[in-house]
Each structure stands twice: as C-alpha cells, then as structure tokens.
Amino acid sequence: MQEDIMEKLDKHDLRKTIIRKDVLKIFVQAEGKALSSKDIEQALENPDRITLYRTLRSFEEKGLIHQAVDGSGTSKYALCSEDCTVHEHQDDHAHFHCTKCEQTICLETGPRSPVNVPEGYIVRRSYLVLEGLCRRCANP
Amino acid sequence: MQEDIMEKLDKHDLRKTIIRKDVLKIFVQAEGKALSSKDIEQALENPDRITLYRTLRSFEEKGLIHQAVDGSGTSKYALCSEDCTVHEHQDDHAHFHCTKCEQTICLETGPRSPVNVPEGYIVRRSYLVLEGLCRRCANP
DNA sequence: AAAAACTTGCAACTTTGTTGCAATAACCAT
DNA sequence: ATGGTTATTGCAACAAAGTTGCAAGTTTTT
Ligand SMILES: [Mn+2]
Ligand SMILES: [Mn+2]
Ligand SMILES: [Zn+2]
Ligand SMILES: [Zn+2]
C-alpha cells in the first residue's frame, strides 16, 4: 500500500514529499468518496493550508485526482481511475451528494444518453449530480 | 413590463422595494441567462452588496429565481418558470456553461433517463451541467 | 396616521482560495 | 556519496464570495 502510493506518485511525475504521500494516502483510503480541502486538513495533523491547495492542484493536473462537481459550492476531489493521465482525465461519471451528511461519492454509472443543445453549441463535457440522502442518512 | 414585475413580486409575497424591482427587471431582461451576484452588481448602479445577497436569497426562497449549478464555483441564478412557488421549485432542466465567455444559460431539455444509484439511496433531485462553447464562442 | 412587520445599509467577520518570494527538499548526474 | 539543478514548501499578504448582528428606514396593514 505504501508502495502503491509511491508508484502512483512516480507514475504521475510527482516528487515524493511528505505531504503528497499523506494526502494521497487519504484519498486512497477514502475509496470513492470526494474530499474537500477542509476534510483533508482535518484528517492531517497540521498541514500548511496553502501547500495543501497546491498539492491538490498538482494532483489534479497530473491526473491523480479529479474534481467532483456536487453543487455544494466548495471544491471536492476524488481519486482518479488508473487510466487518467496528465493529458486526459477519464472521470465521466456522476456524483451523488447527500444533503444531510454532506458526503459526496463517485457513482459507477454507465454512459449517459446525449442531451439536445441549441444549434452551434459545442459540448466538451458534462457533469451529472444526484442529490438526496445516502444510505446511512436515509435509514436512520 | 413594469406591471409584470410588480405582479411577480406580489404573487410571490415579496415587498416591492427599489432594489427588488431593479434586480427582478434584470432577471427578466436576461432571458434564460443565469446571473452571478457580480453580474447584477455591475448592471446596477451601486447596490449594497449585502442587500443584494439577501435579495437573491429571498427571491430564491419565494420561488422567483433558481440556482443554476454550472461547476464554475460561484452561484448563479436565473428566472424561474411561472409555476415555481415558495413550496416547490420546478426547474429540473440542464444548464449550459460556456468555458470561454463564462455565460450560463438554461436549456429546454426534455426529461432525462433515470440513473442507477446504489441500494438504499434516495435521489431528491439532480443537476445536469453541459460544458463547452456557446454559439458565439464556437463560431468566432 | 400609527403600529406592526419587514427590509436596508453599515461594520465586522468568515471561509475559500490565490500570489510572490526566500528557504528548503527532492532528484539527477557525476 | 556530493553537489548542482529544479521543484516544492511555508510564510505573509491579499482577494473574492458570502454571512451575521443591529439600528435606522420602508412597506404594509389596521
Ligand atoms: Mn468522481
Ligand atoms: Mn435554469
Ligand atoms: Zn448522508
Ligand atoms: Zn461563450
């Protein structure tokens, strides 16, 4: 697992610094859950906030994590699938956002049917957010 | 048109103050375009920023405008359809976000096919964002 | 016209995120 | 292993977006 993390950093051309190993470990452990900068701040001891922001940006640029749009207003990130690279992300899945516990998770949904847009518009990508109650919050 | 605005405020149980008339007029004129707080600030002379935020919140609560999730990070709002009320919004349409000019517009898309979610999850609503280039930005 | 109820504008504050820069750490090639 | 090169860190300072408390001002109702 430690090896897993080192490999990932290597593969994505990121220097192996303490904070990067720590942050990446948290993402791996989160298992499909999207995390905010604050989530990570709380999980770690005392990370420098600015360094954390830059770590997240580097991870995203290098194809290690992807942003999870969830309509909550703050940025959240989750681990990418194996085949994301610095050149292209492959995270075209929907995200579920629980309005009670505020958790956001990546969904393994299949391809979506295309949507009609006005003549002349070019669609590059799309985000689908499902909002509601997660299992835990729905069945208390 | 002035009457239209007065009617709308009346119907949604909002007091007719200067800023509310002004802001609502801007939304009516925007015609399906979603506006940020900053957009409105710029359109108006010198609105108090805080009052504007509260105006937007009241409008949303009373079913006059709805939030347009567009993945841009800042909140945008657009005029609701006639049948939105304080009790329930009816704005289940997708939004298109142009990454070049940053405009966001409401799309008149039909109903979307349902998406599979894990057992036990409850979906209350969903947001669909299409990102790309609008007609003007695609054909320069 | 006055009372009641709601709205405004100001100050102060919070949260989230960015930029510049010198000190530091990681990597690469001797 | 040593040292040079290059990327990363941590600090301070800043900025945008949004919230809260409260006294003063408006709108609505009676
Ligand atoms: Mn995801
Ligand atoms: Mn809309
Ligand atoms: Zn939940
Ligand atoms: Zn455009």
Q: Positive or negative CA dihedral for A109, A110, A111, A117?
A: negative
Provide the 8-state DSSP code for B9.
H
For A14, other C-beta atoms within 10 Å of its C-beta total 18
- The CATH number of the domain where B28 resides is what? 1.10.10.10
Q: What is the pLDDT of residue B64?
A: 96
Chain-centre distance for alpha carbon A63: 10
The model's pLDDT over B97-113, given as tens digits with 9 standing for 90+, comes to 999 999 999 998 888 88
Using the Cβ of A121 and the Cβ atoms of chain B, whether some distance falls under 8 Å is answered with yes
Range of the domain at A36: 2-138
Residue A72 distance to chain B (closest CA, Å): 9
Q: What is the pLDDT of residue A82?
A: 85
Mutation choice for A interface testing from B76, B89, B130 by most A CBs within 10 A: B130
**pTM, 2 dp:** 0.92
The model's pLDDT over B10-43, given as tens digits with 9 standing for 90+, comes to 999 999 999 999 999 999 999 999 999 999 999 9
**What's the CA-to-centroid distance between A105 and ligand 1, angstroms?**
7
Q: Are A124 and B133 in contact (CB under 8 A)?
A: yes
Q: Among A109, A74, A80, which residue's Cα sits nearest to residue A93?
A: A109
Say how far A72 CA is from C15 C1', in Å.
14
Strand partners, A45: none
| A17: Cβ contacts below 8 Å, ≥ 6 apart | none
Query: Among partner residues B117, B122, B131, which is closest to A124 by beta-carbon distance?
Result: B131
HEC readout, chain A: CHHHHHHHHHHCCCCCCHHHHHHHHHHHHHCCEEEEHHHHHHHCCCCCHHHHHHHHHHHHHCCCEEECCCCCCCCEEEECCCCCCCCCCCCCCCEEEECCCCCEEECCCCCCCCCCCCCCCEEEEEEEEEEEECHHHHCC
**Cα gap B65→B38, rounded to integer Å:** 16
Between B75-79, B84-88, B100-104, the lowest mean confidence (pLDDT) is in B84-88
Q: What is the pLDDT of residue B110?
A: 80
The model's pLDDT over B49-65, given as tens digits with 9 standing for 90+, comes to 999 999 999 999 999 99
For A87, other C-beta atoms within 10 Å of its C-beta total 6
Is any atom of strand D within 7 angstroms of residue A54's beta carbon? yes
For chain B, the domain total comes to: 1
Q: What is the pLDDT of residue A1?
A: 64
Does B112 contact A107 at a Cβ distance shorter than 8 Å?
no
**Cα gap B14→B42, rounded to integer Å:** 23
The model's pLDDT over A42-60, given as tens digits with 9 standing for 90+, comes to 999 889 999 999 999 999 9
How large a percentage of chain B has pLDDT more than 90? 80
Q: How confident is the model at residue B90 (pLDDT cuts 50, 70, 90)?
A: confident
CA dist list (Å): A33 to A18, A98, A99: 22, 12, 15
Instruction: Extract the tokens encoding B37.
Output: 């707080």
Instruction: Extract the tokens encoding B30.
Output: 């925007």
Q: What is the pLDDT of residue B1?
A: 65
Does A128 contact B133 at a Cβ distance shorter than 8 Å?
no
Is any atom of strand C within 7 angstroms of residue A11's beta carbon? no
Q: What is the pLDDT of residue B86?
A: 78
For A52, other C-beta atoms within 10 Å of its C-beta total 18
Please give the average per-residue pLDDT across B81-105, as a whole number: 88
Provide the 8-state DSSP code for B105.
E
**Cα gap B84→B89, rounded to integer Å:** 5
**What's the CA-to-centroid distance between B76 and ligand 4, angstroms?**
16
Q: In the predicted model, what is the mean pLDDT of chain A?
A: 93
Please give the average per-residue pLDDT across A65-70, as a whole number: 96
pLDDT exceeds 70 at position B82: yes
Q: What is the pLDDT of residue A71?
A: 95
